[in-house]
Structure 1
Amino acid sequence: MPTTNQQLWEAVDKTAPEYTEAYTLPSGFVGTSVNASYLIKRATEQFGPLGTGWGYEILEERIDEGAPLNLDADGQPMIMGKTHTIKLRFWYAYENEIAEFIHYGHTPYVYKDAFGIQYDADAPKKTLTDAIKKCLYMLGFAGDVTTGMHKRLPPDPGPNHSAERKRQEAADKAWLDDQARLIEEAETLSDLEALYKGAAIRLKSRWDDAGLRRLTILYAAKKNTLEHAEPA
């Protein structure tokens, strides 16, 4: 049976909204992540069980050193940022042939976030998952997400949702404005971090990308101000 070059892509590019989740990087970038188990299930549906119809081999595993995360009194680096990296060979059975290609996965291993220097003991597991997901993305899995055409499932509005939605939107805006004001008025780094962390958890749970981006920008600016403020 003749096929088109995009047949596989078109068979797997639609993503169930309930298996997606918003995420925000410290830079303020907002993206959409797809559940790894969901992608693996889709690959099993398409190719067969892992190890029979598709699979992978770790060709290389390493720790890459990055920029310094802090400096000593003389301005010399103390702790360096590190990234865990895997080089993966991915293979799959398709139309009675075995195809393969190589991709990479990365995970911050030693890094600095809003709450200080962090160490991730689960980095190897996360890097492998990242590499597998990237390989599946290359084949078209969750293609609607990677091409920016995917829309996350909105919450069920329920009955009489118009008036309730307006009321909730007004309450959410008032709360967000209040959090923004508190962040701008924070007097210490510990107060600032506690405010931002609590607000970020709530915004992520609501998938409020715009609100999270707004507070992240305010947080970064206020943190910079407090860190460079002269002691009284």
Structure 2
Amino acid sequence: MSNKNLRIWDQVEKTDTRYTKDAKVGGQQITSLNGTAMIMKATEVFGPAGIGFGWKVLEERFDKGAEMFSGEGEKRISLGHELNHTVKIQFWFKQDGERGELEQYGCTPYLYKSKYGTTTDGEAPKKSLTDAIKKSLSMLGFSADVFLGLFDDQEYVSQLKDEQLLEQAEDKAAEEERQKQERLDYIASVIKSLREAQSANEMKKIHDVAVRKLAARRDEKAVTRIVREYEEQKTRFDEEKAA
């Protein structure tokens, strides 16, 4: 029986991979979420923006950051300080006739040093607002799989894409058959690789990668088949070592 408190979370925790992209922020590789797609999902759950959910800007400001410099040694001069745009919002939503509220911040670099010199981002206020809305929705469980780090696991993403392809397919039977055949082809290729492995180490690596991938998809039958084949093929090298 599902937990009533997780009713919203369970509806919105999985992210539609069509609306994500890889991005680098602060030197870190992240999964970037499309703000409009999150609003669309919120509309599906709560109703139109302004009726079923919405937000109010409570505070907006520019925060001073690190000092910027140009040149080296005696020619080093100050360019001033970085500025970051910050917005604080009150996000609200309606569920079962009740109104819920929460507060969240959004931040965006506004004035900063780039390879072209000092740069300003005229879109910073809009980006900060979008950031605050996305963070507010994340507190309700929207795209929880991204925020929980599940998108760092490529097998999770691959499985999610297959689920969404099946859900969105016009011919669901054909898509289901395609995925079944893809699974069988993968298992067959792993078995072939195990049989052709030239060393025990090579075979173990093939086994470990396949089992990890299939276990992530909760495909216990396939895992059992790969493990059985591995144990059978391992005797080749055990016999060689004994000889």
Q: How many corresponding residue pairs? A: 154
Greater fraction of residues in helix: 2
SS class of match (1:52) = coil
Runs of 5+ consecutive residues of structure 1 not aligned to the other structure:
157-161, 163-232
**Alpha-carbon distance in 1 for matches of 2:16, 2:79:** 45
Residue pair 1:110, 1:119 contacting (<8 A) in 2 also: yes
Q: Which letter does structure 1 place at the counterpart of 2:20?
A: T
Give, in angstroms, the shift of residue 149 of structure 1.
1.4
Q: CA RMSD in A?
A: 2.4
The answer for unaligned runs of 5 or more in structure 2 is: 152-156, 166-185, 187-243
Q: Deviations over 1:85-137 (max 9, x none)?
A: 00100000012100001000000001123443221011111111111011011
* TM-score of the pair, normalised by structure 2: 0.58
2:12 matches 1:8: no
**What is the rounded CA distance, in whole Å, between the counterparts of 2:148 and 2:30 in structure 1?**
11
Equivalent position of 1:62 in the other structure? 61
- Residue 139 of structure 1 aligns to a residue in which SS? coil
Q: Give per-residue Cα distances to partners, 1:116-174, cap 9 Å, x unaligned.
A: 322101111111111101101111001111111132759x9xxxxx9xxxxxxxxxxxx
Report the AA paired with residue 84 of structure 1: H
Q: Which has the larger radius of gyration?
A: 2
Residues 143 and 26 (structure 1), Cα distance of their counterparts in 2 relative to 1, 3 Å cut? closer
- Shift, 1:78, TM fit: 2.5
What is the aligned-residue identity percentage?
40
SS in structure 2 at match of 1:14: coil
Instruction: Report runs of 4+ in structure 1 exceeding 4 Å deviation.
Output: 71-76
Return the letter of the residue paired with 1:92. Answer: F
Q: Distance in 2 between matches of 1:140 and 1:3?
A: 14
Q: Which residue of 1 aligns with 2:43?
A: 44
TM-score (norm 1): 0.61
Q: Does 1:24 align with 2:24?
A: yes
Instruction: Output one character per residue of 1:175-213: Cα deviation in whole Å (capped at 9) or x when no partner.
Output: xxxxxxxxxxxxxxxxxxxxxxxxxxxxxxxxxxxxxxx
* Aligned-partner residue type, residue 37 of structure 1: T
Whole-angstrom distance in 1 between the partners of 2:91 and 2:24: 28
Instruction: Kindly provide the amino acid, as one letter, of the partner of residue 133 in structure 2.
Output: I
1:130 aligns with 2:162: no
